[in-house]
């Protein structure tokens, strides 16, 4: 969608969400932002306001279905949402390639249920208006399961598949759907990684690529290209060969 006037972004207090908010901030634009950290979110909101945007910030847990539904209903009634970027997500993985059940369930609750809780309250109003755009943030980690982060990979795979199917279902209603699959982007999540991250990209650069892809209504916005090609290749390899190649990759801490 070109020139959306009201943009809602979850996970806007850091990383890609923060960069996306700043990329869209400007006169005549209403930004509706939410994030887990109120102090960081307020800083982002202040910067976007300085750029001329009308900013409305709130701290809402995307995993809370009822709270999200109530908040989004109020938001859309006040200012109909043109573009919703379901970006909120958390990573996981622990030293020794272990992941507790509690950690796995929390990752799936935020990364999968959080996306559903963000987009579904808006699909009805967008359908009634005959227009709107949904952007679901997945990851190149969603193309294949990698050691050290099973729940994260599974959650991003679910978001990618769901979004790509939803794109076909909602097209007749005039709703555009894009799935965003970044590689390594500098953020608070990647700052914790203690292993080499090929083609690590600044969040501002990632936001520019995403914004351009959304303007062109691309179904899949995957980057950077070398990492995308590697992820695609590992995904199409026979399972035994892929397992052998990935067995020696470093685990997240």
Q: Known catalytic residues?
A: 152
Between helices 65-78 and 114-129, what is the axis angle to 10°?
30
Instruction: For residue 18, give both structure tokens.
Output: 């923060």
Tokens of 230: 């590697």
Report cis status (omega within 30 of 0) of the bond before 224.
yes
Q: Where are the alpha helices (DSSP H) in 53-184?
A: 65-78, 101-108, 114-129, 150-170
> CA 87 to CA 136: how far, in whole Å?
7
CB half-sphere exposure, 7, CA atoms < 13 A: 29
Residues 94/70, Cβ–Cβ less than 8 Å: no
Q: In what order do the strands lie in the sheet with 175-182?
A: 54-58, 30-34, 6-9, 83-86, 132-137, 175-182, 220-223
117 to each of 90, 173, 184, how far by Cα in Å?
15, 20, 25
């Amino acid at each position: 969608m070109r020139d959306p006037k009201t943009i809602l972004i979850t996970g806007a207090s850091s990383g890609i969400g923060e960069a996306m908010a700043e990329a869209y901030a400007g006169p005549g634009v209403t930004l509706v932002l939410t994030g887990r950290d109120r102090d960081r979110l307020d800083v982002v909101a202040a910067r976007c306001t300085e750029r001329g945007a009308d900013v409305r910030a709130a701290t809402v847990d995307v995993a809370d279905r009822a709270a999200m539904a109530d908040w989004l209903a109020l938001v859309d009634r006040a200012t109909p949402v043109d573009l919703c970027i379901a970006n909120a997500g958390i990573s996981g993985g622990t030293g020794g390639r272990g992941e507790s059940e509690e950690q796995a369930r929390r990752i799936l609750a935020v990364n999968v249920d959080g996306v559903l809780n963000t987009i579904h309250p808006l699909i009805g109003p967008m359908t009634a208006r005959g227009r709107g755009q949904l952007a679901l943030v997945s990851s190149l980690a969603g193309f294949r399961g990698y050691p050290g982060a099973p729940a994260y990979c599974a959650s991003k795979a679910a978001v990618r598949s769901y979004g790509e199917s939803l794109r076909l279902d909602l097209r007749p209603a005039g709703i555009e759907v894009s799935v965003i699959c970044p590689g390594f982007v500098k953020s608070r999540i990647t700052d914790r990684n203690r292993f080499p991250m090929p083609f690590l990209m600044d969040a501002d650069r990632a936001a520019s690529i995403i914004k351009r892809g959304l303007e062109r209504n691309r179904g899949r916005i995957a980057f950077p290209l070398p990492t995308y090609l590697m992820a695609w290749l590992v995904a199409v390899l026979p399972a035994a060969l892929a397992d052998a190649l990935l067995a020696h990759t470093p685990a997240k801490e």
